[in-house]
Structure 1
Amino acid sequence: MINRRLRVVLAEDSVVLRDGMVELLGARGCEVAATAGTAPELLAAVAEHRPDVAVVDIRMPPTHTDEGIRAAVEIRERTPATGILVFSQHIETALAARLLAGGAAGIGYLLKERVARTSDLVDALHRVAAGGTALDPEVVTGLMRGGRRDRVDALTAREREVLELMAQGHSNRSIATRLVVSERAVEKHVAAVFTKFGLRATATDNRRVKAVLAYLGLGAD
Structure 2
Amino acid sequence: MRVVLAEDSAILRDGLAALLGRRGHDVVAAVGDGDALVAQVAALAADGALPDVVVADVRMPPSHTDEGLRAVLALREAHPGLPVLLFSQWVETRYASRLLAGDARGVGYLLKDRVADVGEFVAALGRVAAGETVLDPEVVGQLLGASRSREDGLDTLTPRERQVLDLMAQGRSNGAIAETLFLSYGAVEKNVAAIFTKLRLPPDAADHRRVLAVLRYLGAAD
Common topology (TM > 0.5) = yes
Asked whether 1:214 is paired with 2:216, we answer yes
SS in 2 for 1:153: helix
Map 1:89-100 → 2, pairs under 5 A = 89-100=89-100
Q: Is the 8 A contact 2:8 2:60 kept in 1?
A: yes
Q: Is the 8 A contact 1:7 1:52 kept in 2?
A: yes
Asked whether 1:161 is paired with 2:169, we answer no
CA distance in 1, matches of 2:191, 2:170: 16
Residue segments in structure 1 that go unaligned for 5+ positions in a row: 1-5
Percent of pairs with identical residues: 57
Structure 1 position 92, deviation (Å): 0.9
Q: Deviations over 1:56-110 (max 9, x none)?
A: 1011011111111111111111111211101121111111111111232111111
**190, 193, 203: which is aligned to 2:192?**
190
Aligned residue for 2:151?
150
TM-score by length of 1: 0.92
Structure 1 position 150, deviation (Å): 2.8
Asked whether 1:122 is paired with 2:140, we answer no
User: 1:150 is matched by which residue type in structure 2?
Assistant: E
User: 1:145 is matched by which residue type in structure 2?
Assistant: G
**204, 207, 211: which is aligned to 1:205?**
207
Structure 1 position 116, deviation (Å): 4.5
Aligned residue for 2:110?
110
Aligned residue for 2:134?
134
Counterparts in 2 of 1:185 and 1:110: CA distance versus 1, 3 Å: same
**41, 49, 74: which is aligned to 1:46?**
41
Aligned residue for 2:47?
none
RMSD: 1.3
User: 2:37 is matched by which residue type in structure 1?
Assistant: L
Q: Is the 8 A contact 1:103 1:213 kept in 2?
A: no
Q: Is the 8 A contact 1:127 1:134 kept in 2?
A: yes
User: 1:80 is matched by which residue type in structure 2?
Assistant: P
CA distance in 1, matches of 2:142, 2:113: 17
TM-score by length of 2: 0.92
Q: Deviations over 1:20-53 (max 9, x none)?
A: 1111111222211111101111001121222121
Count of residue pairs the alignment pairs up:
215
User: 1:126 is matched by which residue type in structure 2?
Assistant: G
Q: Is the 8 A contact 1:28 1:119 kept in 2?
A: no
Q: Is the 8 A contact 2:81 2:105 kept in 1?
A: no
Q: Is the 8 A contact 1:25 1:32 kept in 2?
A: yes
CA distance in 2, matches of 1:81, 1:149: 29
Q: Is the 8 A contact 1:135 1:169 kept in 2?
A: yes
Residue segments in structure 2 that go unaligned for 5+ positions in a row: 45-49
SS in 1 for 2:55: strand
